[in-house]
Amino acid sequence: MSSVWNIEIENEKSLVAKIAEGNHKAFTSLFKNCYNKVYSYAMKICQSEFVAEEIVQDVFMKIWINKASLPGIENIGGYIFTMTRNQALQALKKIALETHCNAVKNLDWTELDKQTENYINYKDAKMILDKAIATLPSQQKLVYHMCHMEGMKHQEVANQLSISRLTVKVHLRQAVKTVREIVLSNTSFLFFLIVNQLFEK
């Protein structure tokens, strides 16, 4: 049994061996045993239900993809613990980037000096974000705006739009993924963020 997080996994070596062979039932058993601990640890680090759920999905997806290497792992609990921590730290970096993007989005552009190079950089950044958000389907765009721009909770959005909380999460997850991919693909925007971060340090 693994003692990390007090996760009790009966016949751990046998279970891991079956997962390595592609046994879905064994994998489901591991998932059920570890889900609450992985979610709670991710939630403790990121303080976000949405992000914690994404981390759980990423951790177990990687376990399944790399299942062939599992028999060589002595402590599966420690392995999952490390994966969860690493995924959570990566998530925090993404959150920091998105927070920075939203800060740029919400600036009062009229107060900036239009004659300066800084204004040009901010204007370009805002344009990139606007274009990324504009590509979203109407429902995703609305959910993204309500959650990320207005700071509404998932249940509040669900109630207002008369849809389920799960539907809100699905729309938001896809919207964030799309916006992130478009923003990160724009080198000028990344340059703006990097330079801005250097001046803030």
pLDDT digits (tens, 9 = 90+) for 179-201: 777 766 664 544 444 434 433 43
Quick one: pLDDT at residue 89?
86
Q: Which residues of the chain have pLDDT under 70?
A: 1-10, 95-126, 183-201
Can you give the pLDDT at residue 116? 42
Residue 27: DSSP 8-state: H
Which residue intervals of the chain bear CATH 1.10.1740.10? 4-93
In this prediction, residue 131 carries a pLDDT of 82
| Arch. (CATH architecture) of 107-200 | Orthogonal Bundle (1.10)
What do you get for the CA distance between the two ends of the chain, in Å?
Answer: 46
- Per-residue model confidence (pLDDT) at position 176: 82
SS3 content of the chain, % helix, strand, coil (to 5): 80, 0, 20
For domain 4-93, is the CATH number 1.20.910.10? no
Using the 8-state DSSP alphabet, how is residue 146 labeled?
I
- Where do you find CATH 1.10.10.10 in the chain? 107-200
| pLDDT for residue 46 | 83
Q: What is the pTM of this model?
A: 0.48
Q: Positive or negative, the Cα torsion across 11, 14, 15, 16? A: positive
Token pair 């109630």: residue:
159
What are the pLDDT digits (tens) for 7-19? 556 678 888 899 9
DSSP string of 125-142?
HHHHHHHHHHTS-HHHHH
